[in-house]
Amino acid sequence: MSQLMPELPYAGTSGFSGTDTSRDRAITQDSNGTTGRRQRETLQFLAMRANYGATWKELAEQLSLHHGSASGVLSVLHLAGRVERLHLSRNRSKVYVLPEFVSGRATEKRKVKKCCPSCGHNF
């Protein structure tokens, strides 16, 4: 798999909730390599899962991540077009796959979020 620079679609960050603590966490993880590492590990895990894909919970268990971190990395990669979210659910959670494993199944559109260019807050 090629080296992935972190996808940072939210005003140059991986996104945050709007609080100072959340913003500081995103900036730290984006700059210290955590964001890029998680994105690479997620893409590798989805490649191994092929057509079966993974839910946020399955990813969280595999990478030992909190719900917010697992969901966040999938959302960013989906927004960036690196993964697809299937219309299919498993255990009440959406299934994510690499684009080459969609296999004609229905996918969900990417949610285009607007964010403040100065602070990165989503609205």
Per-residue CA distances from 101 to 65, 67, 86 (Å) = 24, 24, 10
Distance CA 95, CA 111 (A): 16
pTM: 0.85
- Residue 40's Cβ-count burial label (10 Å; 0-12, 13-18, 19+) is middle
CATH topology of domain 20-101: Arc Repressor Mutant, subunit A (1.10.10)
* Tokens at 109, concatenated: 């559109």
Distance CA 7, CA 93 (A): 23
From first to last of its 123 residues, what are the pLDDT tens digits of the chain? 445 679 998 888 888 888 899 899 999 999 999 999 999 999 999 999 999 999 999 999 999 999 999 999 999 999 999 999 999 999 999 999 999 999 999 999 987 656 566 655 555
Q: Given this model, what pLDDT does residue 17 score?
A: 82
* Tokens at 120, concatenated: 């990165």
Report phi then psi at 85, rounded to 5.
-100, 120
